[in-house]
Amino acid sequence: MEKLELRGSPKTPDIMLDADLGQMKIAGRSIPENPIEFFSPIYNWIDNYSASPCSETILDVRLEYFNTSSSKCLLDIFKKFEKINGKSSHVRVNWYFERDDDDMAEAGEDYEAIVDLPFSMIEVEQI
């Protein structure tokens, strides 16, 4: 399965999806007003990956900002991985946030409360 790599822009994040490594990385900022267009190829990739995933899947989320429109899209991504977790793959989410960034830490906790996936909250000096 082909990797999906998207370079970030002032309103969209860097994306790296690697089926061989079972890794998904999302980093930067996600503030498009209509994010569905941006996230659609990512949803498709995850659907294809879910057909035969790695035994372990790691999602690295290192976001600086995301708007409320993107928050729903992020949830949809987690929901897709929730479906395969504990069945065809063991999925883990690494949620990064900058020291002092309580809002981003809380956002991670919000997702952790909503989706049935193990989250590691990782504090870093700089995102």
**Strand segments (E) across 34-125:** 56-66, 90-98, 119-124
Instruction: Determine if 2 is a binding residue for other proteins (CB under 8 A).
Output: no
Q: Fill in the amino acid letter for 55.
A: S
Instruction: Determine if 100 is a binding residue for other proteins (CB under 8 A).
Output: yes
Residue 114 near residue 81, CB atoms below 8 Å: no
Residue list 9-68, contact with other proteins (CB under 8 A): 10-11, 31, 33-34, 36, 65, 67-68
Q: Residues 47, 56, 106, 116: which binds other proteins (CB under 8 A)?
A: 106
**Strand segments (E) across 4-89:** 4-6, 14-18, 23-30, 56-66
Smallest distance from other proteins to CB 54, Å: 28
Tokens linked to 19 = 């089926």
Q: Residues 83, 92, 101, 122: which binds other proteins (CB under 8 A)?
A: 101
Instruction: Determine if 114 is a binding residue for other proteins (CB under 8 A).
Output: yes
Around 43, how many Cα atoms within 13 Å sit in the side-chain half-sphere?
Answer: 12
Residue 19 near residue 3, CB atoms below 8 Å: yes
Instruction: Determine if 1 is a binding residue for other proteins (CB under 8 A).
Output: no
Q: Residues 5, 47, 56, 110: which binds other proteins (CB under 8 A)?
A: 110
Under the rule (CB under 8 A), what is the footprint of other proteins?
Answer: 10-11, 31, 33-34, 36, 65, 67-69, 71-73, 75-76, 100-103, 106, 110, 113-114
